[in-house]
Structure 1
Amino acid sequence: MSNANQAAQENANPYADPANPALPPTGFKLDPARAALVVIDPQNDFLSPSGASWSVFGPSITENNTVANLGQLFKTAKQVGLTVAVSPHYYYPCDHEWHFGGPLEKVMHNICMFDRKGPNTLEDFEGSGADFLDEYKPYILDGKTIIASPHKVYGPETNDLALQLRKKGVSQIILAGMAANLCIESHLRELIEQGFEVAVVRDATAGPRLPDGDGYLAAIINFRYLAHALLTTEQTVRELTS
């Protein structure tokens, strides 16, 4: 493909991979015997049209078919007996007393994303923005899925996700969920540093669109540089069921 044609393709679809990438393939091979599906923040405040952040994330979620793709990953992982883990995001009243925070932290607190009454109560939790999307509950609440303690900013440094995965003998991760340039990228970076192989499912996530920039585009670029593999849902399902 000529440089002009490649540029035209990328302008038509800014998320398309380059026709002639400079970065080499890693040789990643999915091994279900040591792999886990890890889903970040499969919660109403991200993924439901009634969620607190839908106006910012909804277009990217819709274009990527994120909700259905996550459902397909959950379903397939359970069918083949893959370890499944969820890293949720919860804020309790004490978290709103923090003395400082980054721009997106301030937004999340201001719009009451992931709010719960407290760590020891489920009062008003059912159906709230912090609750899991209803269609995922049969997979998440089956008594087998690892539900990690909540992460508080973006990455898993503050929860027990890595410990839970290590205890299950997991060394390879299929990473999906929300949000691409925030919690997904932060989990990706930390899990790589912890020695895991990580493949990101590119259409089972989405990013914010603001005047400040397209978060999904920023994430896709960094995924190409960082992840051991960048897969589609279709590719992932095929690998798990072949």
Structure 2
Amino acid sequence: MNSTEKANQGKKEAQLPISGFEIDRHTAIVIVDPQNDFLSPDGVAWGAVGQSVMENNTVDNIESLFRLGAENGIHVFISPHYYYKHDHGWQFEGTLEKLMHNINMFDRGDQLNVDGFEGSGADWLPAYKPYIMDEEKVTICGPHKVFGPENNDLVLQLRKQKIDKVILGGMSGNLCVESHMRELLECGFEIAVIGDATASAKLPHLDGDQAAQTNYVMMASVVYTTSQLEEVLESRKILAEE
């Protein structure tokens, strides 16, 4: 066997298996942090994530997830990120936690105080509000505080709806979305990630989107683009009608 043949054999051996993902009545859409501070050009994180948001067409693709949920009877769960006044008294923080506190990202007064929430960085992107306000189809969970859902009620809310499969998107890709993916996997959920309905910080010598997309492929059952998900759901409708 010559060197080229050995290299080609290595490529074949390195291919990842296909797990598959069947969308059924036990499937939900989970959207992480669909908020102004990440997704609006006026948001405090736009300087870090804006390039990736525009490259992935993330704003429109997250809206498509809301729309596809509504059109296909798939319940949507939102895992938001809020910081209250008492959170700014933390005695230690990781790098990105410190940054978020420094720039007052996702800030609110307290759990019971919505003064100044409307239109703030913690508020939903305006295009998403018509979907989010539909309480029968959308569940807003308590806030997660660092990156993953370990400290909010997302898993409880999913279990109470007998959900065991999750279609996942939102912000930001290599932090909160990836952390949600990892925790949900550990809790026994099947995960499909919508890769272009996420985006991540891009900084000198650091590409969060590349890191996230790599880990999605290695860990989720499947990674779809938004258009691929739409095709899958359309095929599901056709099969149901036959």
Residue 23 of structure 1, CA deviation: 4.1
Does 1:193 find its partner at 2:186? yes
Gaps of 5+ in 2: 5-10, 236-242
Is the partner of 1:202 in helix, strand or coil? Answer: strand
Is the partner of 2:49 in helix, strand or coil? Answer: helix
Residue 25 of structure 1, CA deviation: 2.8
Which of the numbers 117, 134, 141 marks the counterpart of 2:109?
Answer: 117
Name the larger-Rg structure. 2
Q: Deviations over 1:35-88 (max 9, x none)?
A: 001000000000000000001100000010000011111101111110110000
After TM superposition, the structure 1 = structure 2 runs for residues 20-169 of structure 1, keeping only pairs within 5 Å, are 22-144=14-136, 145-169=138-162
Residue 115 of structure 1, CA deviation: 0.1
Aligned-partner residue type, residue 96 of structure 2: L
After TM superposition, the structure 1 = structure 2 runs for residues 214-229 of structure 1, keeping only pairs within 5 Å, are 214-229=207-222
Does 1:178 find its partner at 2:171? yes
Distance 1:62 1:24 in 2: 29
Structure 1 segments of 4+ aligned residues over 2 angstroms from their partners: 19-27
Is the contact made by 1:176 and 1:205 (CA closer than 8 Å) also made in structure 2? yes
Is the contact made by 1:32 and 1:240 (CA closer than 8 Å) also made in structure 2? no
Q: Deviations over 1:202-231 (max 9, x none)?
A: 100001011251000111111121111111
CA RMSD of aligned residues (A): 1.4
Is the contact made by 1:35 and 1:82 (CA closer than 8 Å) also made in structure 2? yes
Residue 26 of structure 1, CA deviation: 3.5
Residue 22 of structure 1, CA deviation: 2.2
Is the partner of 2:196 in helix, strand or coil? Answer: coil
CA spacing shift, 1:183–1:123, aligned 2, 3 Å: same
Question: Sequence identity, in percent?
Answer: 51
Aligned-partner residue type, residue 89 of structure 1: H
Is the contact made by 2:26 and 2:163 (CA closer than 8 Å) also made in structure 1? yes
Distance 1:117 1:85 in 2: 24
Residue 191 of structure 1, CA deviation: 0.1
Aligned-partner residue type, residue 173 of structure 1: V
Distance 2:15 2:81 in 1: 33
Distance 1:186 1:166 in 2: 19
Q: Deviations over 1:135-184 (max 9, x none)?
A: 00111111121100000000000000000001111100000000010000
Is the contact made by 1:80 and 1:241 (CA closer than 8 Å) also made in structure 2? no
Distance 1:35 1:91 in 2: 29
